[in-house]
Structure 1
């Protein structure tokens, strides 16, 4: 399939899941929006779960390139800012909340693929930090990402609070420097 047509299918899939949720997502609806026959979609993806899983990883709208600022701290701040953007700016916010929320209720939609792909893309940040001597070889990169991503999810999604105004720097400082030395906001 031509890459442009594939992106059109992925975009239609993600728009529909954002608008209607996973239960309202249909291969027929994706086919209609993307201008292809549903048999074409089924030829490449055997189910709507497989289609959405591929779209989450491969769609341009959720594209992700790992930062390389020259320092672990800078890279982590950039990662947190990218996560915050994913969870606060449309259309990515609507897509992420609908699709990843559906993954909890629908095991056939393997949300782990999305997170595994993201972590594989984030891993070079930690590999470079180890080479530069900024991070010990025994540090757990996935734990670091989980702590930072968890902070963004809780703040942005569950609490509905802003993740701007130094949030990324504060979260990274808390993880890298520890809570005893993390800068504290007044108030």
Structure 2
């Protein structure tokens, strides 16, 4: 009897990465990503979660129309390297919040995150018909701030002492992109 291998769904495809939905089989991968020390620091994650809580979170996301949570995987190997989400989708004001986490240091600085964000922006502005996508980055994450600016996000302000982490307070930098800015940037790239 032949066993079928489950092929990953390529929901949004780029050159180096693709974005795919999570399913309950991804609970262990997601659980391990939540406990990566550097990812926790960069995202300001302070809570701890059990495997059961992670499984429940993934199950609940399937029916949540206010967010789109996807895993980032390498096209070449199908290895999951992080996750990305559009959260707090507001269909009346056509806005959302984006967040991303690339799990391991060896996958950072290779353009994977930039490509994943671009794919998600394309989806948010082009399919979900959003007008504004915002994010926050902590002041100690200079590399991410630089990447977001390079992608076209504009600084809007600073929330002083927004995060208490590792015995000290850190500012959060608010950034956003509007649909016409994204479309103008895409035109320049062609």
TM range (shorter): 0.3 to 0.5
**Structure with bigger gyration radius:** 1
Larger helix proportion, structure 1 or 2? 1
Say which structure is richer in strand. Answer: 2
| TM-score under structure 1 length normalisation | 0.33
Higher relative contact order (CA 8 A, sep 6+): 1
TM-score (norm 2): 0.33
